[in-house]
Amino acid sequence: MLARKEVWKTWRFELKYRLSLQQYYCFRNALLPYMEKDPFTKPTGSYLVRSLYFDTYDYQAYHEKINGDYGRIKIRVRAYTDSPAGDPPVRVELKTRWGSAMEKYSCFTSSSLLQQFLHTSHWPEDENNPVLIEFARLYHLRTLRPQLLVQYQREGFKARDGSNLRITFDRHICSAKAATLFPQHSFLRPQQPHEVILEIKCQNDHPRWLTQLVKQHGLKLQANSKYARGIEIARPDVVTPMWSQGYYDHKTALSAAAGKHHPHSYSNFGS
């Protein structure tokens, strides 16, 4: 059983790429001598991720993402199933990003307690988990509400040498407007049906073999926010006029340039 009182803190770099199916198969196969499936993998070879994102009524978090604001905060809850049966564990996450670097605090609660919070706007009176307390504080301070449900299949890998390197491939990404993590009726619409999202997650200096593989396969760093893309689909009326492929790639270039001033720059990863 997962401990509700435990808090997880994560600091790392996250580098994202959009791959065609052919690139995915080629790059994935090239990784296998160095990486192995992570412990969350199901017999099918992947596992489901379902996230509910919170934002203000005027979508402040969305606009902060589009503007590339440093220090922006992402607030979401996440489950690894699409059914509330059995009161599954739910991960509550507070994530702050500076370019390609991010810091995340998270903890687990239950689906039923999350649903109670969404109805009452409060956790139980005896709740003292600092992540849940901060979640509630931001929820009230910013007048946050659940805005978007995002679901996808994730294929995760960990390093065979025991380092903290993780690599994930996300497929079948879909999203919908939603007010809860498990709505009775939701029309999930595909975001990128012919693409696979690659994420490289590392805390320390990147291994040389990975840099070489990225270059050999011609991969280019590209911003990819599942939340922002979901809002574009679900609420085109709030989309920034500059929201386009060209603008998105321009923001990626600016983010990569800013990363050069960070003590650990990863701009050579296909920038």
Can you give the pLDDT at residue 206?
Answer: 83
SS3 state of residue 217 = coil
Block residue for tokens 């401990």: 3
**Nearby residues of 171 by Cβ (< 8 Å), 6 or more positions away:** 24, 46, 152, 153, 155, 196, 197
- Angle separating helix axes 208-216 and 21-31, nearest 10 degrees: 150
| Rounded Cα distance, 267 and 265, in Å | 6
Can you give the pLDDT at residue 254?
Answer: 44
Using alpha carbons only, how large is the chain's radius of gyration in Å? 18
| Rounded Cα distance, 27 and 16, in Å | 14
Can you give the pLDDT at residue 4?
Answer: 59
**Nearby residues of 75 by Cβ (< 8 Å), 6 or more positions away:** 53, 54, 61, 93, 94, 95, 135, 138, 139, 144
Can you give the pLDDT at residue 260?
Answer: 44
With beta carbons less than 8 A apart as the criterion, state whether 100 and 268 touch. Answer: no
Residues of the chain with pLDDT under 70: 1-4, 240-271
CATH number belonging to domain 8-259: 3.20.100.30
| Rounded Cα distance, 76 and 147, in Å | 10
Instruction: Find the distance separating the first CA and the last CA of the chain, reported in whole Å.
Output: 42
DSSP character for 165?
Answer: -
Map out the domains of the chain as residue ranges: 8-259
With beta carbons less than 8 A apart as the criterion, state whether 34 and 210 touch. Answer: yes
| Rounded Cα distance, 109 and 106, in Å | 10
Q: What are the tens digits of pLDDT across the range 26-43?
A: 999 999 999 999 999 999
SS3 state of residue 233 = helix
- Copy the structure tokens of residue 270: 């296909």
Can you give the pLDDT at residue 270?
Answer: 61
